[in-house]
Amino acid sequence: MSAAVTWLQNNLGMDVTGEWARHIHLNVGGIFYTTRRHTLRNLREHPLFGSILSGRGHKCEDGSFLIDGDGALFRYILDYLRNGTLNVPDNFHEWGMLLQEVRRYQLPELEQLVLGCFDYQRCVFKRQLPHGVYVWWPDTPHTSPSAGAVDNADRKPPSQTALPPHHHSEASHVGVTPARRADTKGGSAGSSTAATTGGIVAPLSPPLPSLPSGSYDSSPHSASSSCVRIVPPLPGLEVNATTAATGASVTFRSSQVLVDLDQLVTVLLTAYGYTIQHWDEAHGRVLLTLPGAL
């Protein structure tokens, strides 16, 4: 090949000889992939893919180039080399392994795409969450008795649906809809409740344990009795000071103000992935756990 032709192919991407259209067969961890040389055209100086382009890479008996890596995850890496984008399914959970593979292949641009992906950030975020969380949202002083009675009569726990896929730009806001408590028959407001999911009524766990002695004062006029409690504290949720004018509130991700227990539980279900184990209507207390924690 003349120097002029080589320059045209390497610098202008012009496939004068048809070289870039030729196929390359890759054996990655026992899984075979076939792509064109054009896919690797920008990696001529890469320590791994450059040697494959030049034909110096290790070959198997069938002529395919051997790559010692995770064969299943290589599909996402090869797709990035083709299109320059990161595409994974909505139910993808192997973010840690994918990031490890990307770093092993020395692809810094793809590494930044993984680190900036909201699903990856959410996966890392959930690993830091406690398995169970206890929420107590007592009636606030500014709420009238009649309004509180109507609200307690109608409230049901939010449906425990799967977290829908989020786009990276939507990560800062979670749509909050009123939560509702499952109706009970023949029981008082403080009796055990049941959660309804997809039309199936499932019994809840035993009544919530009491908070440690001295942790709160249940008298109606005490300061602690009107304070929202999240035990243990969760990242991204900040309990605001309770006043007679504003009542109790919790700030989610420094921007979204939650003004009642329904909204708080909705965020715990959708953004954090918790499920309801018990809802104590009489005292405004909810016990939630991560799936598989019990």
* Shared-domain flag, residues 52 and 155: no
Residue ending a domain, choose from 109, 126, 143: 126
Any domain includes 294: no
If one counts the domains in the chain, the total is 2
Write the DSSP symbol of residue 247: B
Q: Which two tokens stand for residue 213?
A: 């002695």
Domain end, chosen from 126, 144, 166, is at 126
Reduced to 3 states, what is the DSSP secondary structure of residue 147? helix
pLDDT per residue of the chain (294 residues) written in tens, 0 to 9: 556 555 555 555 555 556 767 899 999 999 999 999 999 988 989 999 999 998 899 999 999 999 999 999 999 999 999 999 999 998 898 999 999 999 999 999 999 999 999 889 888 888 888 999 999 998 754 443 444 444 444 555 555 444 444 444 444 455 554 454 544 444 443 444 444 444 333 334 444 444 444 444 444 344 445 689 999 999 889 999 877 777 889 999 888 999 999 999 999 999 888 999 999 988 999 999 998 765
Pair 117, 230 in one domain: no
Q: Which of 74, 103, 126 is the last residue of a domain?
A: 126
Q: Which of 58, 57, 12, 20 is nearest to 37 (CA)?
A: 20
Query: In terms of domains, do 84 and 184 share one?
Result: no
Domain span at residue 234 reads 132-289
- Asked if 84 and 190 sit in the same domain, the reply is no
Helices (H), 105-202: 108-115, 118-127, 145-154
Q: Are residues 118 and 143 in the same domain?
A: no
Same domain, 42 and 102: yes
Angle, helices 95-104 vs 108-115, to 10°: value is 160
